[in-house]
């Protein structure tokens, strides 16, 4: 019975069975080798194309940067020309207006940002955290700072020399922060005209002051507050009359 069971369960000669097992292993390994070779060839071709295209991408990036810088230089020239024309208009107005009317125009211009102002105040300098992976100052951080300064009785504010008005937009564009659509680079120097004796303490008590105290202690952002006897803030060149009605 044992002999019949062995013949039934193992119909092939043991030598043939061993040869069959080796042949099966060879057939299994062959497709795997082919797949590995194909994948290696695809990766190599993709790497070659990436290497070949990298100089073109770098060239396009440099051209784009050059175009942006040229446009910014043109805008700077136009702003300078606009400021010169505005100063000429102001001088003509002074010649024609009486003393009382001119005093009202000066007071309104200082508040609206249409004329440059000079006076004592507070200076707040903020910057990104140290290190390549450190926290960065965002547009929300600057808005919190500016709102806190207004709450602390600021009379006029400028960021990196750009005057802020009720029409100023502080936004992010990619990794940059824009003020009236002009990109700024850190550190950000916020100049605030007001009472230098009381403004730092008032600002610290506002939500904006608390925001920046937390940003400094928990995220390592640069944050320094000082006072100045004399600050000069330019006029906002983008503040122009868009709608006028004859009374």
- Spatial distance between the Cα atoms of 232 and 235, rounded to a whole number of angstroms: 10
Q: What is the pLDDT of the chain when averaged over all its residues?
A: 79
Contacts 24+ apart (CB under 8 A), 80-88: 82/237, 83/234, 83/235, 83/237, 86/114, 86/235, 86/237
pLDDT at 84: 76
Mind listing the pLDDT tens digit for each residue in 221-244? Answer: 999 999 999 999 988 766 555 565
SS3 243: coil
pLDDT at 26: 46
Residue 15: which domain range? 1-78
Work out how many domains the chain is built from and give that number.
2
Q: What integer is the mean pLDDT of 177-193?
A: 92
pLDDT at 40: 74
pLDDT at 28: 46
Query: Is the same domain home to 131 and 74?
Result: no
pLDDT at 24: 47
Residue 87 has pLDDT above 50, yes or no: yes
Query: Is the same domain home to 227 and 121?
Result: yes
Q: Which of 28, 47, 78 is the last residue of a domain?
A: 78
- Residue 244 included in any domain: no
pLDDT at 65: 75
- Residue 67 included in any domain: yes
Q: What integer is the mean pLDDT of 104-114?
A: 63
pLDDT at 147: 96
């Amino acid at each position: 019975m044992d002999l019949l069971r062995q013949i039934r369960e193992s119909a092939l000669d043991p030598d043939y069975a061993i040869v069959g097992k080796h042949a099966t292993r060879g057939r299994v390994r062959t497709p795997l080798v082919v797949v590995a070779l194909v994948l290696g060839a695809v990766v190599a071709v993709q790497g070659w194309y990436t290497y070949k295209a990298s100089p073109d991408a770098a060239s396009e990036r440099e051209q784009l940067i050059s175009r942006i810088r040229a446009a910014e230089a043109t805008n700077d020239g136009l702003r300078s020309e606009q400021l010169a024309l505005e100063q000429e208009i102001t001088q003509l107005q002074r010649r024609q207006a009486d003393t009382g009317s001119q005093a009202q125009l000066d007071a309104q211009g200082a508040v609206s940002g249409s004329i440059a102002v000079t006076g004592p105040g507070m200076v707040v300098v903020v910057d990104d955290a140290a290190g390549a992976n450190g926290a960065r100052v965002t547009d929300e951080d600057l808005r919190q700072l500016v709102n806190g300064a207004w709450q602390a009785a600021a009379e006029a504010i400028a960021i990196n020399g750009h005057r802020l008005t009720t029409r100023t937009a502080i936004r992010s564009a990619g990794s940059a922060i824009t003020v009236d659509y002009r990109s700024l680079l850190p550190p950000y120097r916020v100049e605030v005209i007001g009472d230098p004796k009381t403004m730092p303490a008032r600002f610290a008590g506002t939500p904006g002051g608390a925001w920046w105290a937390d940003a400094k202690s928990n995220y390592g952002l640069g944050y320094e507050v000082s006072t100045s006897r004399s600050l000069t803030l330019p006029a906002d060149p983008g503040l122009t009359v868009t709608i006028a009605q004859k009374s």
